[in-house]
Amino acid sequence: MGCATEHMFCFSCNLRRLVRAAFILSLLPLLAACGGGASDTALPFPPAGPDSAPDPMSFGPFPVGAITLEMEDPSREDPETGGPRSFKLEIWYPAVQGTRDLSPWTYETWTDASEEYLGEDYQKLVDAALPGMQSEAVRDADMDTAHAPYPLVLFSHGSYGIRWQSVFYTVHLASHGYVVAAPDHKGNTVWELLRDGYDEGTTMVSSQQRLFDIDFVLDELKERNADHADFLFGAIDEDNIAASGHSFGGWTAFTAACNNPHILASVSQSPILGLAEIYGCVLAEYPVPAMVMGGTLDNTVPFKDQYCDYRAVTAPEMYLYQIEGGGHYTFSDICDLDLAALAKDFDFGPAEEALQDGCSQTENVPWHEAHKSINHYSTAFLNLHLRASPGCVDYLVEFSAAPFDAVTFHAGTVPDWPAGGCPAGK
């Protein structure tokens, strides 16, 4: 073979190799999209488990997706419409790794509100131009099914709150490998506060409906978990379920665990625990591990009440988190939403003052800093009990460095209240 011929032959071989390599490279995105690549299944680090205990304060190994479902319970009547009780349910869940490249979702009051429901008050809400609540979740992202099923956390919002009032917390939990489901407790949401003003009478009505909401949502999610055609098919570990909530929602979560045997742990933030006894919850015989979280400057539910109620609880395992300078809404994103700015246009009554509880730039601990330690202890507790991660015990202790320098953390029982003592029996 002559030199010219040999060079031409080698050039042709190399060209074929280049074409073949380019063809294979062109198939990689398609293979990944069909599940053939590792990019959407390989995690940056393992989630909590028997052999893993990742830092509970850092964002978890999963990006997070969010969906909104319209729920309808035919067993209960909506007193306004005469039809079935209906409400929205927000779900946050572990998403595929490619979700990190997508734009996160911002929750806006005016887009979530119903113009038909609010009537003339809807335009006042739009004109108020409240800041949006930025989350780290991506709307309608693909779920990571490769690492399912995931433990379920049922989250309950506060009185006159909204299902997405605590995205700092619900999204964080989802990033650590949880499905988190939060219903709007219709009749006791921000929409009724805007439309009808503050009405103390709705509280007792809502207390019963809230517990029914939790039971209904759990049953509905189990049905969807078994439905091959549903987005949630196979996503939920039905053997590992917890309840959590803020304020009235903290009471809801705590009480639900007394009444629903499927709930294996509870995390209650700024709760009124004593009222749980109304629905048969015996504090001295609380059935599941519990964490209670409160702020020392809470003016809505005074911390002394929370502390003394905690003293009355006897549970298989229990923890009390207290943060110096924390207010009622330190345990939510309500301060970012700035609902207090609506006071000039809406009749909030006694709720007006409460909407600023924990939001002071000078008197309260900075709420974004507080969120870090709230996430740390809550996630470690749930990882221990729902993800079977014994290494997480090491996180359930008191630390002195920031952001823990304002936190006192108690494991088990606590001494009597130092200034005056707790009521008899607590």
Q: Which domains does the chain have, with CATH numbers?
A: 43-411 (3.40.50.1820)
- In this prediction, residues 71-100 reach a mean pLDDT of 97
* Angle formed at CA 149 by CA 70 and CA 243, multiple of 5 degrees: 60
Q: What is the DSSP code (8-state) at residue 21?
A: H
Q: What is the pLDDT of residue 348?
A: 83
Residue 276: CB partners within 8 Å, gap ≥ 6?
Answer: 251, 254, 255, 258, 283
From the list 288, 285, 284, 299, the residue with the least C-alpha distance to 253 is 288
- How would you classify the pairing of strands 106-107 and 133-134? antiparallel
Task: Determine the distance from the C-alpha atom of residue 234 to the mean position of all C-alpha atoms in its chain, rounded to a whole number.
Answer: 20
Residue 42: CB partners within 8 Å, gap ≥ 6?
Answer: 97
- In this prediction, residues 246-267 reach a mean pLDDT of 97
With beta carbons less than 8 A apart as the criterion, state whether 261 and 232 touch. Answer: no
357 CB burial (10 A radius; 0-12, 13-18, 19+): buried
Find tokens 């207390």 and name the residue.
207
From the list 209, 174, 184, 149, the residue with the least C-alpha distance to 68 is 184
- In this prediction, residues 343-363 reach a mean pLDDT of 85
Decide if pLDDT at 158 tops 90.
yes
Residue 244 CA: distances (Å) to CA of 151, 364, 401? 13, 23, 27
Tokens describing residue 102? 């997508």
Phi, psi of 225 (to 5 degrees): -65, -25
Sign of CA dihedral 150, 152, 157, 158: negative
- Condensed to tens digits (0 to 9), the pLDDT of residues 7-38 reads 333 334 443 443 344 433 343 343 344 333 34
Q: What is the pLDDT of residue 345?
A: 82
From the list 380, 272, 262, the residue with the least C-alpha distance to 319 is 380
Q: What is the pLDDT of residue 39?
A: 55
Whole-model pTM over 0.85: yes
Find tokens 């049905």 and name the residue.
223
* Angle formed at CA 255 by CA 250 and CA 261, multiple of 5 degrees: 125
- Condensed to tens digits (0 to 9), the pLDDT of residues 282-292 reads 999 999 999 99
If one counts every other C-beta atom within 10 angstroms of the C-beta of residue 108, the result is 15
Decide if pLDDT at 269 tops 80.
yes
Q: What is the mean pLDDT of the chain?
A: 90
